[in-house]
C-alpha cells in the first residue's frame, strides 16, 4: 500500500485529522530542506508537501513566489529534490512525501525520467498545479505505473460534474482550495467550506484535505472539524522569509507553529 | 515535416490543441473560468446581434477597414517585390491591439462582468484595453512590469488618462511574463465580476483561438483589398511576432491558400547566438507556460528565461501555440532580425514613405528589406504595419542620439 493511503488509514482508525505542511525545496538554501522536513515530522506532520521551485508560479501568491526566487537563486533543481527526499528517507521511511509544482520543469526532464527518479528517491505522490485532469492522460499513467499517486486540486468554483472527473483521476487525497484565489490570501469561512465539501463526499471516497488560508491552531482546528486533513503552506514559508539572515532560527519556529496546530487538531 | 497539414477549419480541436501545442494547462482555480469563457465565446460567435455590434464598432470607433497601401518608394528602392503595407498603424489607439480588445469587451459585457483586467508589455495592449473599458464604462486594472513602466512612460500616462489603474509588477524580472502572472492571480481572486482581456494569441484555450478570430479582420480585409488592386492573391505575407497576434490575424484567412508564403519575423535582439533575444521559435524549445504548451525561452531545467528586444512589444519568452504548430508543420516560415536591423528599417520607412512605424513593425520591414530584392518584380508582398512609432520616440532617440545631433539621420540604408 502507498504510504499516503497507509497514513490516512491509520489516522482514520485513530480518529485524527491529517496535518500536511508545505515547504518550497531549496528555501532559503538547499542544505536546510531535509532538516526542516525532519523538524516538521517531529512537530506532528503526517504528510510533507515539498514544492518544486518554478520561475513563474502563477497559482501561488507573493510569499511562495519569493520562496521560489530564493531557491532558484541557489540553483535548486529537480535532481536536488530527489537527493533531498533520498536523504530524508535514510531516517524516515514512513512519512509520505508529495512533490508539488508546475508542469514545465517536469516536461523538460521528461515524464518517465522524472517518475523513475521520484520513485527511486522515495516520493509517494505528485501534485502538478497547472495540469488539470483534462491534460493528465499522458503523465498520469506514467506515475501510476511506478506507484506514484496523482493528487489533484478542487476549487470552490469547480462544478459537481468536474469534481466527479477530478476524483475519478485523483488518488491519495483531494486538495480542496479553500479560497478563491492564490495561496497565502486572507480570510477563511469554515461554514462555506463545509457546504462545498458535502457534495464532494458523495462524489469521492478520497480523503478531503483543505489548503490555502490556514494560519494557526484556531484556523487549523476549525477546518479540521470538517475535513480529513489541513494543509498549511504560506505561514510556514513566511517564517523562512523572516529568518533568511538567521537560518538557525527557522526550524524551531516551524516546529512551534506546526506543534500548535497539532495540539489544536488533537484537542 | 510529417505533421498533418494545418486546416483552419479544424484548429484548434475541442481541447484547444493545435497539433501538440495549446491546451488548458491551468490550476483548477482557473479551469471553471476558462470553461465559462469558452461557452460564452462560442455562443457570442453565433449571435448575429453580437457580430453586428462588433462590425459597427470596427467601422465607426476603430476606423476600419485599414488601408492597404502600396509603398512605392520602398518598392522602388529595394528593386524587387511589390510591397503593400496593411496600415494597422492608422487604427484607433495606433495599433492592431484594439481589434481584439473591442471584441473581448463586448464579450465581457455580455457575460455581465464589470471589471476588466489586462497585462501589458509595451503598453499598447494596456492602452487599447483602457480605451475600450472607458468606452463601455467599466473599471480597468492594468498589470505592467516595473521595468516596462520605466521605459514606456507615455503609454502609462495614456492609460491613467483613460481612467485605468496601472499596477506595477515587481515580482520575477518585472516584465511582461510577470505582469501576466499577476493578472492571472487577480483573475482567480476576483472570479465573480472580472474579465481578463489577454492581449495576444497565447494563454489557455479559448484565448489563442478567440484573439486570432478577433484579429483575423486584418487578413480578411487584406485579402479583399489585394484582390481588388492586383486581381489575385498575394505571393507572401510578412508580420512581426512577439506573442504573435498581428501575424496570426493576417495569416489566418490565408492558411488554406498553399501558394501564399507566410513569414513571421521574431526579434533576434542582440543576436540569436548572444542569448539576448526574444525568438522563442528559433532560440527556444517546447514547454508549458501561462496555460499553453508552446515554444519557450527556458533553461535546461525548465525555468523560464528573460526575453530581450529593443521593442518592448516583442519582449515575451513565449509565442502563440498556433504559430508553434505552423512552425513545426512547415506551413509558415519564421525568421529573426536584430535590434540594429530593426532600427535601420525604422529609419528607412520614415525617410522613404513618411511613416514612423512601431519598432515591432520595423522588424517585419527589416526582413522585407532583405527579402524583397531577391524576388521578382511581379511578386506581391503584404506586410502588416501593426502599429505606429510615436511610443518609441524615446528609445529611438536614445539609440540614434549621435545621428540626430548631427542633424542628418543616415536614413538611406539601402544603396540607390
The DSSP call for residue A32 is G
pTM tops 0.90:
yes
Q: Domain boundary residue among B207, B238, B272? A: B207
B88 and B105 co-located in one domain: no
Query: CB A194: neighbour CB atoms within 10 A?
Result: 15
Its domain, for residue B48, covers: 18-62+96-207
B155 and B262 co-located in one domain: no
Residues of A in contact with B23 (CB under 8 A): 134-135
B117 and B144 co-located in one domain: yes
Query: CB B311: neighbour CB atoms within 10 A?
Result: 26
Q: Is residue B414 part of a domain?
A: no
B179 and B296 co-located in one domain: no
Q: Is residue B353 part of a domain?
A: yes
Q: Domain boundary residue among B207, B234, B250? A: B207
DSSP A67-131: HHHHHHHTT--HHHHHHHHHHHHHH-SSS-EEEEE-HHHHHHH-HHHHHHHHHHHT--EEEETT-
Please pick, among A5, A46, A60, A228, the residue that the annotation labels catalytic: A60
B266 and B358 co-located in one domain: yes
User: Does the pLDDT at position A166 exceed 60?
Assistant: yes
Q: Strand B17-18: give its sheet, edge to edge.
A: B17-18, B21-25, B291-296, B285-289
Q: Is residue B409 part of a domain?
A: no
Q: Is residue B351 part of a domain?
A: yes
B31 and B78 co-located in one domain: no
Nearest to B196 by CA among B266, B310, B104: B104
Q: Is residue B120 part of a domain?
A: yes
Distance CA A260, CA B211 (A): 50
User: Does the pLDDT at position B101 exceed 80?
Assistant: yes
CB contact under 8 A, B303 and A159: no
Q: Is residue B50 part of a domain?
A: yes
Number of structural domains (chain B) is: 2
User: Does the pLDDT at position B416 exceed 50?
Assistant: no
Q: pLDDT tens digit string along A39-48?
A: 999 999 999 9
B135 and B185 co-located in one domain: yes
User: A 161-180 residues with CB below 8 A of B?
Assistant: 162, 166, 177, 180
User: Does the pLDDT at position B1 exceed 60?
Assistant: no
Q: Is residue B2 part of a domain?
A: no
B28 and B79 co-located in one domain: no
Q: Which residues contact B193 (CB under 8 A, 6 or more apart)?
A: B113, B114, B115
B195 and B326 co-located in one domain: no
* All domains in chain A, ordered by first residue: 3-266 (3.20.20.70)
Q: pLDDT tens digit string along B124-154?
A: 999 999 999 999 999 999 999 998 898 788 8
CB contact under 8 A, A62 and B171: yes
**Whether residue B378 has a cis bond before it, omega within 30° of 0:** no
Q: Strand B139-145: give its sheet, edge to edge.
A: B165-169, B139-145, B115-120, B194-196
- Give me the CATH number covering residue B259: 3.40.50.1100
Residue B409, pLDDT score:
53
A187 to chain B, any CB pair closer than 8 A? The answer is no
B145 and B224 co-located in one domain: no
Please pick, among B66, B86, B88, B97, the residue that the annotation labels catalytic: B97
What value does the mean pLDDT take over residues B308-332?
Answer: 94
Is B119 labeled as catalytic in the residue annotation? Answer: yes
B83 and B102 co-located in one domain: no
Q: Strand A125-128: give its sheet, edge to edge.
A: A149-150, A125-128, A97-101, A48-51, A18-24, A229-232, A208-211, A174-177, A152-154
DSSP B115-152: EEEEEESSSHHHHHHHHHHHHTT-EEEEEEEHHHHHH-
CB contact under 8 A, B304 and A102: no
Q: pLDDT tens digit string along A167-183?
A: 999 999 999 986 555 55
What mean pLDDT, rounded, does chain B reach? 93
Chain B residues contacting A via beta carbons under 8 Å? 15, 23-33, 171-172, 177-178, 181, 184-185, 188-189, 191, 286-291, 296, 298, 300-305
- Nearest chain B residue to A151 by CA: give it: B28
Q: Is residue B298 part of a domain?
A: yes
Q: pLDDT tens digit string along B253-300?
A: 999 999 999 999 999 999 999 999 999 999 999 999 999 999 999 999
User: A 93-122 residues with CB below 8 A of B?
Assistant: 102-109
- Nearest chain B residue to A54 by CA: give it: B303
Nearest by CB to B29, from A57, A59, A159: name it: A59
User: Does the pLDDT at position B94 exceed 90?
Assistant: yes
Min Cα distance A131 → chain B (Å) is: 5
Nearest by CB to A58, from B28, B32, B181: name it: B181
B367 and B233 co-located in one domain: yes
The DSSP call for residue A148 is P
Interface pTM, i.e. ipTM: 0.95
Q: Domain boundary residue among B154, B180, B207? A: B207
What value does the mean pLDDT take over residues B102-124?
Answer: 96
Residues of B in contact with A137 (CB under 8 A): none
A187 φ/ψ sector (left φ>0, alpha ψ -120 to 50, else beta):
beta
Min Cα distance A77 → chain B (Å) is: 7
CB contact under 8 A, A158 and B28: yes
Please pick, among A49, A124, A171, A228, the residue that the annotation labels catalytic: A49
Amino acid at each position: 500500500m502507498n504510504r499516503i493511503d497507509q497514513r490516512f488509514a491509520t489516522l482514520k482508525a485513530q480518529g485524527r485529522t491529517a496535518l500536511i505542511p508545505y515547504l518550497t525545496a531549496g528555501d532559503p538554501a538547499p542544505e536546510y530542506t531535509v532538516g526542516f522536513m525532519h523538524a516538521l515530522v517531529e512537530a506532528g506532520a503526517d504528510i510533507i508537501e515539498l514544492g518544486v521551485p518554478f520561475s513563474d508560479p502563477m497559482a501561488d501568491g507573493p510569499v511562495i513566489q519569493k520562496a521560489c526566487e530564493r531557491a532558484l537563486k541557489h540553483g535548486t533543481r529537480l535532481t536536488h529534490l530527489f537527493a533531498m527526499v533520498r536523504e530524508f528517507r535514510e531516517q524516515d521511511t514512513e512519512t509520505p512525501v508529495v512533490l508539488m509544482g508546475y508542469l514545465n520543469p517536469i516536461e523538460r526532464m521528461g515524464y518517465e525520467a522524472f517518475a523513475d527518479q521520484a520513485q527511486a528517491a522515495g516520493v509517494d505522490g505528485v501534485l502538478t498545479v497547472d495540469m488539470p485532469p483534462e491534460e493528465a492522460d499522458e503523465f498520469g499513467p506514467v506515475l501510476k505505473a511506478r506507484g506514484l499517486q496523482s493528487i489533484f486540486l478542487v476549487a470552490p468554483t469547480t462544478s459537481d460534474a468536474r469534481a466527479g472527473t477530478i476524483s475519478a483521476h485523483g488518488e491519495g487525497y483531494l486538495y480542496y482550495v479553500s479560497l478563491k484565489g492564490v495561496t497565502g490570501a486572507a480570510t477563511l469561512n469554515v461554514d462555506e467550506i463545509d457546504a462545498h465539501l458535502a457534495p464532494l463526499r458523495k462524489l469521492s471516497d478520497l480523503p478531503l484535505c483543505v489548503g490555502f488560508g490556514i494560519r494557526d491552531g484556531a484556523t487549523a482546528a476549525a477546518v479540521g472539524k470538517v475535513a480529513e486533513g489541513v494543509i498549511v503552506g504560506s505561514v510556514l514559508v513566511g517564517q523562512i522569509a523572516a529568518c533568511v539572515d538567521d537560518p538557525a532560527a527557522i526550524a524551531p519556529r516551524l516546529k512551534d507553529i506546526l506543534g500548535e496546530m497539532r495540539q489544536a487538531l488533537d484537542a | 515535416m510529417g505533421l498533418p497539414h494545418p486546416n483552419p477549419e479544424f484548429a484548434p480541436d475541442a481541447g484547444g490543441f493545435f497539433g501538440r501545442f495549446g491546451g488548458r494547462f491551468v490550476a483548477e482555480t482557473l479551469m471553471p473560468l476558462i470553461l465559462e469563457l469558452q461557452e460564452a465565446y462560442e455562443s457570442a460567435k453565433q449571435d448575429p446581434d453580437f457580430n453586428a455590434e462588433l462590425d459597427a464598432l470596427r467601422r465607426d470607433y476603430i476606423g476600419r477597414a485599414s488601408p492597404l497601401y502600396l509603398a512605392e518608394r520602398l518598392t522602388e528602392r529595394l528593386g524587387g517585390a511589390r510591397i503593400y503595407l496593411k496600415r494597422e498603424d492608422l487604427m484607433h489607439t495606433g495599433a492592431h491591439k484594439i481589434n481584439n480588445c473591442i471584441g473581448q469587451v463586448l464579450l465581457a459585457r455580455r457575460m455581465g462582468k464589470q471589471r476588466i483586467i489586462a497585462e501589458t508589455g509595451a503598453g499598447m495592449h494596456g492602452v487599447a484595453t483602457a480605451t475600450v473599458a472607458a468606452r463601455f464604462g467599466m473599471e480597468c486594472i492594468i498589470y505592467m512590469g516595473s521595468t516596462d513602466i520605466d521605459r514606456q512612460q507615455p503609454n502609462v500616462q495614456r492609460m491613467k488618462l483613460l481612467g485605468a489603474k496601472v499596477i506595477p509588477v515587481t515580482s520575477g524580472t518585472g516584465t511582461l511574463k510577470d505582469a501576466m502572472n499577476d493578472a492571472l492571480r487577480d483573475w482567480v481572486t476576483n472570479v465573480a465580476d472580472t474579465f481578463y482581456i489577454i492581449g495576444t494569441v497565447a494563454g489557455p484555450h479559448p484565448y489563442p483561438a478567440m484573439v486570432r478570430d478577433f484579429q483575423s479582420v486584418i487578413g480578411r480585409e487584406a485579402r479583399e483589398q489585394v484582390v481588388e488592386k492586383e486581381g489575385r492573391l498575394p505571393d507572401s505575407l510578412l508580420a512581426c511576432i512577439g506573442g504573435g497576434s498581428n501575424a496570426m490575424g493576417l495569416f489566418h484567412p490565408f492558411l488554406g491558400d498553399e501558394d501564399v508564403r507566410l513569414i513571421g519575423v521574431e526579434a533576434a535582439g542582440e543576436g540569436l547566438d548572444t542569448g539576448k533575444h526574444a525568438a522563442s521559435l528559433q532560440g527556444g524549445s517546447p514547454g508549458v507556460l501561462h496555460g499553453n504548451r508552446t515554444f519557450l525561452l527556458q533553461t535546461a531545467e525548465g525555468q523560464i528565461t528573460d526575453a530581450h528586444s529593443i521593442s518592448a512589444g516583442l519582449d515575451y519568452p513565449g509565442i502563440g501555440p498556433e504559430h508553434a504548430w505552423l512552425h513545426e508543420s512547415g506551413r509558415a516560415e519564421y525568421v529573426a532580425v536584430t535590434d540594429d536591423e530593426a532600427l535601420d528599417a525604422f529609419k528607412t520607412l520614415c525617410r522613404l514613405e513618411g511613416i514612423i512605424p512601431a519598432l515591432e513593425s520595423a522588424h517585419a520591414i527589416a526582413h522585407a528589406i532583405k527579402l524583397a530584392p531577391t524576388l521578382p518584380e511581379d511578386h506581391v508582398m503584404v506586410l502588416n504595419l501593426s502599429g505606429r512609432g510615436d511610443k518609441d520616440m524615446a528609445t529611438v532617440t536614445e539609440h540614434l542620439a549621435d545621428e540626430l545631433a548631427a542633424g542628418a539621420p543616415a536614413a538611406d540604408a539601402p544603396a540607390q
